[in-house]
């Protein structure tokens, strides 16, 4: 029986972070961010503007990885696979952990998700249940090219109290290999370990005053030598791409950014609405998110996390025979219940996440889900779909003349597509391009249910820039 040196006490329920008054934005010289290489650099505070001009970093090519539709493939001169450790614990922020894993795996990294708890199953801060690949004790003798710590509370405290992880990360820093943390991790985990010394650092604004004053920097991303830090869930894509840049080089980071639709704010409108109707309800909104093997983990976790932050009652239901699903980039998620058990309730909104070819087909073939969708439409309740999933609604005859958007690979199958906006709302239908646009998608839902002020408040907690009006 393997030993565990992370003493784990029964923790209190996860804590969600609330955002203090917004930090003034810094001037941005042009429409893209530029990372100078081999020196301290930072990204100014422009949280929703996900345009990226990567740094001139290492020239190592991306190693060969199992083929998927959105993973960068290798060149003949590919270097050895880059190994990455992403530890998780009770109360880890799920958006930060999953976006890190997803983006790094798309780039070709071999990512190990390790639990610092006695069990592999970990409940994240927003209630999503993730299953780690292994326990942290199995990683103590391994060498990683990168150790990346997600934030969240009490997740960062759980990571801090794990002696094995402390030794791994301290050795990483001593040997000048890459390490980093996002959100609460720099202040709560890395600082007590002494790994921020003489390093310019950023973190979640609610914890900024814990950082050493002289070295603290109010920026989305801060790279100081081998250390990379970032602010929160809303900057997770930038954080992950900065790490991809350092591991694999500029061209890979740029290609991944394009695959994820990380456009500049001026490139595409945030949303467009047609046939405006009121979505407000007199009770706590209930939302169903059906998932399948192959569903896109970024979309599942981001939608669920943001809606739960807004106090929406979200049920994640598996269309498989088990509540455990294996998402498109290998993240293991445990649904709240099976679709058959969820079918007995009425939902104000049913959202279909994208699932690639396999995942989308599995959603489409579920007879229980098909019945639920048709009943939802007949009752005049709301439907939502992201990425390629609008095709499921189309094949079930539920789109009618509604205006929609979708992933570029799927939009040609739809009869009334709208080119341009990240999110399209038409009456009681909401669709999105998917991937990095799902934060806008979820916040648009919050705004429709509760109003703009609630959506903006949630966005601020995420450190995600959102319109004032």
Distance in angstroms (rounded) separating the CA atoms of residues 220 and 423: 24
pLDDT, mean of residues 169-198: 98
DSSP state of 299: H
**For a pLDDT cut of 90, what percent of the chain falls above it?**
76
Helix axes of 250-259 and 94-107: crossing angle, nearest 10 degrees? 120
Is 271-462 in the same CATH topology as 41-259? yes
- In 70-212, the DSSP E strands lie at 83-88, 110-115, 121-123, 129-131, 134-135, 146-149, 178-182
Read off the pLDDT of residues 391-449 as tens digits, 9 standing for 90 and up: 999 999 999 899 999 999 898 899 899 988 999 999 999 999 999 999 999 999 999 99
Whether the CB-CB separation of 287 and 312 falls below 8 Å is answered with yes
Q: Which CATH number fits domain 271-462: 3.90.920.20, 3.30.750.24, 3.40.50.880, 3.50.50.60?
A: 3.40.50.880
Position of tokens 């900065």? 242
Least confident of 15-29, 143-157, 377-391, 426-440: 15-29
pTM for this prediction = 0.86
Query: Residue 430 has what pLDDT?
Result: 98
The pLDDT of residue 80 is above 90:
no
The pLDDT of residue 288 is above 80:
yes
- Taking Cα atoms as reference points, which of 98, 11, 164 lies closest to residue 328? 98
Query: Residue 254 has what pLDDT?
Result: 95
If pLDDT is split at 50, 70 and 90, which confidence band does 2 have? very low
Least confident of 63-72, 155-164, 211-220, 455-464: 63-72
- In 397-443, the DSSP E strands lie at 423-426, 429-432
Mean predicted lDDT score pLDDT of the chain: 86
The pLDDT of residue 308 is above 90:
yes
Q: 291 vs 17, which has greater pLDDT? A: 291
**For a pLDDT cut of 70, what percent of the chain falls above it?**
81
- Taking Cα atoms as reference points, which of 39, 126, 119 lies closest to residue 301? 126
The pLDDT of residue 99 is above 80:
yes
Q: Which CATH number applies to 41-259?
A: 3.40.50.880
Helix axes of 452-462 and 297-309: crossing angle, nearest 10 degrees? 120
Distance in angstroms (rounded) separating the CA atoms of residues 330 and 133: 9
Catalytic residues: 387
If pLDDT is split at 50, 70 and 90, which confidence band does 16 have? low
Whether the CB-CB separation of 164 and 140 falls below 8 Å is answered with yes
pLDDT, mean of residues 293-300: 96
Distance in angstroms (rounded) separating the CA atoms of residues 458 and 311: 10
The pLDDT of residue 30 is above 80:
no
The domain spans of the chain are: 41-259, 271-462
Whether the CB-CB separation of 404 and 428 falls below 8 Å is answered with no
Least confident of 6-20, 136-150, 322-336: 6-20
């Amino acid at each position: 029986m393997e030993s565990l040196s992370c003493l784990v006490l029964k923790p209190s329920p996860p804590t969600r972070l609330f955002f203090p008054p917004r930090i003034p934005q810094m001037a941005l010289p042009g429409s893209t961010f530029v990372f100078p290489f081999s020196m301290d650099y930072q990204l100014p505070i422009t949280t929703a503007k996900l345009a990226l001009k990567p740094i001139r970093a290492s020239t190592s090519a991306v190693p060969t990885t199992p083929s998927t539709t959105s993973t960068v493939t290798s060149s003949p001169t590919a270097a050895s696979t880059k190994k990455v450790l992403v530890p998780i614990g009770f109360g880890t922020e799920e958006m930060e952990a999953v976006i890190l894993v997803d983006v790094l795996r798309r780039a070709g990294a071999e990512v190990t998700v390790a639990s610092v708890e006695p069990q592999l199953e970990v409940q994240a801060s927003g209630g999503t249940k993730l299953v780690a690949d292994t326990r942290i004790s199995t990683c103590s003798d391994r060498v990683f090219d990168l150790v990346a710590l997600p934030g969240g509370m009490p997740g960062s405290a759980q990571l801090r109290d794990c002696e094995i992880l402390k030794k791994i990360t301290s050795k990483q820093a001593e040997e000048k290999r890459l390490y980093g943390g996002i959100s609460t991790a720099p202040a709560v985990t890395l600082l007590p370990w002494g790994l921020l010394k003489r390093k310019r650092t950023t973190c979640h604004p609610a914890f900024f005053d814990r950082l050493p004053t002289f070295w603290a920097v109010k920026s989305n991303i801060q790279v100081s030598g081998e250390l990379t830090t970032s602010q929160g869930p809303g900057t997770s894509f930038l954080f992950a791409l900065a790490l991809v840049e350092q591991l694999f080089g500029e061209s890979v980071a740029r290609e991944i950014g394009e695959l994820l639709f990380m456009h500049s704010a001026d490139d595409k409108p945030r949303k467009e609405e047609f046939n405006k109707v009121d979505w407000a309800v007199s009770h706590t909104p209930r939302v169903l998110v059906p998932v399948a093997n192959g569903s896109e983990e970024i979309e599942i976790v981001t939608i669920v996390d943001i809606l739960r932050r807004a106090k929406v009652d979200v049920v994640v239901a598996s269309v498989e025979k088990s509540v455990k699903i294996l998402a498109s980039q290998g993240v293991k998620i445990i649904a709240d219940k099976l679709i058959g058990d969820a079918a007995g309730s009425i939902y104000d909104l049913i959202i279909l996440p994208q699932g690639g070819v396999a995942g989308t087909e599995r959603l489409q073939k579920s007879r229980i889900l098909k019945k639920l969708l048709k009943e939802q439409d007949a009752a005049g309740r709301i439907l939502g779909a992201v990425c390629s999933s609008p095709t499921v609604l189309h094949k079930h005859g539920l789109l009618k003349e509604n205006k929609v958007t979708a992933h570029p690979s799927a939009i040609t199958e739809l009869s009334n597509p709208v080119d341009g906006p990240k999110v399209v709302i038409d009456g009681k239908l909401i669709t999105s391009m998917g991937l990095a646009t799902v934060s806008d998608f979820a916040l648009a839902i919050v705004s429709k249910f509760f109003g703009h002020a609630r959506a903006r408040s949630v966005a601020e907690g995420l450190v995600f820039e959102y319109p004032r009006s």
